[in-house]
Structure 1
Amino acid sequence: MIPALPSAESLTVEFKSDRKRLPDSDLVEAIVCLANAEGGTLWLGVEDDSTPTGLHVEHRNLAGLAGLVAARTSPSLRVQVEPVEAAGLPVACITVSKAQTVVATVGGVYLRRRLKHDGTPECAPMLPHERESRAASLGLVDVSAQPVAGATLADLDPLERERLRQAVQQYGGDRVLLELDDEALDGALGLTARQPDGSRVPTLTGLLLVGRETSLRQWVPTHEFAFQVLAQQAVRFNEFRRFPLLKALDWLETNFRPYNPEDEIQVGLFRVPVPLVDMAAFREAVANALIHRDYHRLGAVHVRLEDDVLVVSNPGGLVDGVTLANLLVTEPRPRNRALADAMKRVGVVERSGRGVDTIFRGMLKFGRPSPDYSRTDVHSVVVRLPTTPADVDFRRLVVQEERRRGAELPIDSLIALAAIRELKRVTAEELAERIQRDAASAKRTLEALTEAGLVEAHGTTRGRSYTLSLTVYRAAGDKAGYTRQAGFTALQHEQMVLSYVRQHGQIKRAEVMELCRLSEGQTKDLLKRMQGDSLLQLEGAGRGAFYRMGERGVNGWKRMETDERHPFPQKE
């Protein structure tokens, strides 16, 4: 389907005038520019202000345009060219897919599309380090496995290598590493790369893990991190460092602990800590930022504690294939694979590659909101961990259930309980969006929690919804809350709808959903039942459809005025 002519240029939309016949070289460069960003559409025969002025006579025959682009790009780009009529003039819509490698013109011109500070797009040259960064984000190269030109074994610090061995013991890493000598250890973790002459040269992974601080400043100038504490617009702590990563993690954790107060709750015979920020989530978020940042970009990894949130950010956006919509379920795609693998073997980060689960778990198990990645863009990954007060009753519930099972709750179950706690009532479709899976998977999760006695189901088939169980509400001392959520019977919903119609003369489906706090499926079932019982009468069709009082509905209100004990006549 050919898209409509946009009203303005953007990161994925380019307009090119063809009144004076756009040179083929300019056209190819504009297409390369789009392909090296997010792809998009190029409209040939349209001015920069989106005014169509038509194709030059030499471009009216579009049959060979795709072949021209393929012949003048390396590697060859495939584009789709469609003729379009805009304001009575012929223009061309050229659809360009996002390239899965770095593309240039055959003349060796590398360009990429980007947004300027004012939000308008431009084509800019791709410098060598930007081409490497692009290739790394696409998973084509692993810069962390490459030797660092100019570095020598003297740049590796024996004290940091000893710290690495201690970290293996501290974090429960691969104990085989403890049996290796220095050269074998370097080879096993990819800290060095052997050259054709037999010598060994430090890799980026080697310098980042066990390099000297002075060597990191010289050979990896993009490596830097900061810890900041901001309280009511006052700066209480603000330090920048360039330590190797294991020392960096120790330093950050040591300096963060004084700002991470901890309470305790009693669960049975045990006392359970309730910190401001879960340390496992803190360690995973910080380690992810240091490991997966783009080391081609200048800029520091920031760990910033504000009044009500902990913010961890790193230069370099999400790698290709990872989005905010699949963050919980996509396969791990590390930008710096060798560095990530080394840190996993040391035991610093999650061995399964599901570190995001650890961050979510560290927030949700205390009844706090989910981690917020919404400020992530193509330039940086930003995760915000709210430090709102913990829900002690919810934490106690999670601890008791995990002790009963003898294992941690699955992350999907934890997300489901948190969602029901927040929204009071959810459907499988609503949960599916939160766990980033299909509705069938969400339903299995909810039914498993129902069998465990933590959740209760209401309704059947498509209208089925779920609330926390009476046991959970009772444990929290909120029995009235359970009644408010589960106690609305179908008759009560009918009364609410009929009362609305009596007051306003009519009601629409959307108004029923809002009035009764029902899902679309539940609303359809309620209205169908009330129509079948002659309580309501449907009038109109489509979006204009609405319901008036039916025959039994009218009689019901008349009778209620004389006998409140029986507001509606029984159906014969």
Structure 2
Amino acid sequence: MTPHLPPRETLTVEFKSDRKKLSDTDLIEALVCLANAEGGELWLGVEDDGTPTGLHAEHRLLEGMAGMVAARTSPSLSVQAEAVEVDGVTVARIHVPKAHGEVATTSGVYLRRRVKHDGTPECVAMLPHERASRASSFGLIDVSAQPVAGATLADLDPLERERLRQAVQQYGGDRVLLELDDEALDGALTLTARQPDGSRVPTLTGLLLVGRETSLRQWVPTHEFAFQVLAQQAVRFNEFRRFPLLKALDWLETNFRPYNPEDELQVGLFRVPVPKVDMGAFREAVANALIHRDYHRLGAVHVRLEDEALVVSNPGGLVDGVTLANLLVTEPRPRNPTLADAMKRIGVVERSGRGVDKIFRGMLKFGRPAPDYSYTTAQSVVLRLPTAEADLDFRRLVVEHERATNTELPIDSLIALAALRESKRVTADELAVQIQRDTTSAKRTLEALTEAGLVEAHGSTRGRSYTLSASLYQAVGDKAAYTRQAGFAPIQHEQMVLSYVRQHGSIKRAEVMGLCRLSAEQAKELLTKLRDENRLILQGEKRGSHYVLGPGA
């Protein structure tokens, strides 16, 4: 299949004219530029406006191009070139992979492609901090473990060390840390790094966790966070701070609480709190933003309460390998592994690294919409936690089920129930997309909910669909909704069978199974009902048995 010439240049598409023979240097730099962004394709022999004008005579033999590119890039860039006929002229399509890390020309030129404010792309020099930022996003270096040049042990604050020890107790962290003296604690959490001369120097993690505020301003100028409250477009709270991280979390939580009213729900003898925003989800979202932000980029971590959502954003996009489509299931890939590990051992964030699950649980268990990461860009991760009214009946049902089984509902089950409440009816294939797993896993989740009495299955194995159970609809006081969802299918099946018989004269049980996607037993029940109502008449015996229209049809 011949590839089509794209209509315009983008972040991943570059056009280069070859009428005057593009120099090898210009070609190599253009390819390096693409590789240091998202990769893509360079179309040689195409003008900037997208007009194909063809290859120079010396570029028509493409066989040696990949070797020339590999020889003039470091590390060697592997490209694929092919000739493509466009509007009667031959052009070259050069496929460029995304570089894992960074790639330069052998003359030491580092370039990257970016999109300008008007939407058009350009190639710019990669500055040292951008190269380090890229390396950390690929997991090639751990910036948080690096010693901070110029910083000394005097930049670490004894009061913040004490706060760290209290946090270990408060959050149920690794109690071994409480038995260590300062130097051993520094070593255990990599708060300092030992130099060749035996002296110790604070790392980025050390400064961020127990550094003095004045030292953070001096040595980590990119570190800043803000808490903002916007109500009906009016700013009610808007303050920026540069505290070390444990103090930052305390400050953010303290200032957020007055804006987070809490109702109570009576479940049996227990009172269950129902806050506007689940504090576990709040803490995990804010801690994740502070831990996983790109400390090479200027810009604050923003915690902003809007009319309809709490929005948490941080500089630096998702790290390589993490996408919106695998956020729930991918292995944890922290941008700053040493900092992330220290926060886990202190107990501030999930020890498993699956903090996203905690954020999802904090929303879905109250019947609220799922967390929304869709505003995330290559420059920043943006998380919206909708502050819609909680569904108290649903929350009661979840609490009762979890108390009865003495276990929390798995996150996939909560996503499934949320999907059913919104879509009314789902298949395993549809749920698989939402839980970011395969269809088998989705089916397992739905069948487990069916066994628990929360969900009902309809149809045969192949075309099986699921609705919330009658007991669940009854629990939330919406019996009519259940009748609409569960009752619709049998009526529809009856009409499908009768319509088939009108068209084809008769129908067999196997044909009913295929037509309505029912099991053998379900098809038998449907045909028996239609026969009892005189709408169908059974003719023939055994293998020859079939049904024709009856007088009541």
Provide TM-score, normalisation by structure 1. 0.88
Count how many residue pairs are aligned between Structure 1 and Structure 2.
520
What does residue 80 of structure 1 align with?
A: 80
1:525 to 515, 518, 527: 515
After TM superposition, list the pairs within 5 Å mapping 1:204-243 onto structure 2: 204-243=204-243
Displacement, 1:18? 0.2
How many Å separate the matches in 2 of 1:459 and 1:60?
60
Instruction: Note if contact 2:142-2:338 (Cα within 8 Å) is conserved in structure 1.
Output: yes
Q: Does residue 275 of structure 2 align to residue 275 of structure 1?
A: yes
How many Å separate the matches in 2 of 1:87 and 1:205?
58
What does residue 513 of structure 1 align with?
A: none
After TM superposition, list the pairs within 5 Å mapping 1:489-504 onto structure 2: 489-493=489-493, 495=495
Instruction: Note if contact 2:343-2:349 (Cα within 8 Å) is conserved in structure 1.
Output: yes
After TM superposition, list the pairs within 5 Å mapping 1:2-401 onto structure 2: 2-401=2-401
Q: Does residue 415 of structure 2 align to residue 415 of structure 1?
A: yes
Amino acid at match of 1:465: S
| Distance of aligned partners of 1:236 and 1:24 in 2 relative to their CA distance in 1, 3 Å threshold | same
Instruction: Note if contact 1:2-1:82 (Cα within 8 Å) is conserved in structure 2.
Output: no
Q: Secondary structure at the match of 2:90?
A: strand
Displacement, 1:115? 0.5
Residues 180-217 of structure 1 deviation map (CA, whole Å, 9 limit, x = unaligned) = 00000001000000000000000000000000000000
What does residue 569 of structure 1 align with?
A: 550
Q: Secondary structure at the match of 2:419?
A: helix
Q: Secondary structure at the match of 2:376?
A: coil
Q: Secondary structure at the match of 1:193?
A: strand
| Distance of aligned partners of 1:147 and 1:456 in 2 relative to their CA distance in 1, 3 Å threshold | same
| Distance of aligned partners of 1:126 and 1:570 in 2 relative to their CA distance in 1, 3 Å threshold | farther
Unaligned runs of 5+ in 2: 503-511, 524-534, 536-548
Instruction: Note if contact 1:463-1:525 (Cα within 8 Å) is conserved in structure 2.
Output: no
Identity within the alignment, % = 81
Residues 98-150 of structure 1 deviation map (CA, whole Å, 9 limit, x = unaligned) = 01121000010000011001111111100000000000001100000000000
Residues 363-411 of structure 1 deviation map (CA, whole Å, 9 limit, x = unaligned) = 0000000000001010000000000000011101110111111111111
How many Å separate the matches in 1 of 2:459 and 2:516?
11
Instruction: Note if contact 2:460-2:518 (Cα within 8 Å) is conserved in structure 1.
Output: no
Displacement, 1:498? 8.6
How many Å separate the matches in 2 of 1:290 and 1:498?
63
What does residue 553 of structure 1 align with?
A: none
| Distance of aligned partners of 1:270 and 1:197 in 2 relative to their CA distance in 1, 3 Å threshold | same
Amino acid at match of 1:286: V
Amino acid at match of 2:314: N
How many Å separate the matches in 2 of 1:176 and 1:489?
59
How many Å separate the matches in 2 of 1:277 and 1:397?
19
Instruction: Note if contact 2:496-2:516 (Cα within 8 Å) is conserved in structure 1.
Output: no
How many Å separate the matches in 1 of 2:366 and 2:218?
43
Displacement, 1:422? 1.2
User: Alignment RMSD, CA only?
Assistant: 2.4
Displacement, 1:496? 8.5
Displacement, 1:432? 0.3
Instruction: Note if contact 1:8-1:50 (Cα within 8 Å) is conserved in structure 2.
Output: yes
What does residue 541 of structure 2 align with?
A: none
Displacement, 1:528? 12
Q: Does residue 456 of structure 2 align to residue 456 of structure 1?
A: yes
| Distance of aligned partners of 1:486 and 1:369 in 2 relative to their CA distance in 1, 3 Å threshold | same
Displacement, 1:523? 12
Displacement, 1:571? 10
What does residue 435 of structure 2 align with?
A: 435
Instruction: Note if contact 2:459-2:518 (Cα within 8 Å) is conserved in structure 1.
Output: no
Unaligned runs of 5+ in 1: 503-521, 534-555, 557-567
| Distance of aligned partners of 1:275 and 1:497 in 2 relative to their CA distance in 1, 3 Å threshold | farther
Provide TM-score, normalisation by structure 2. 0.91
Amino acid at match of 1:190: T
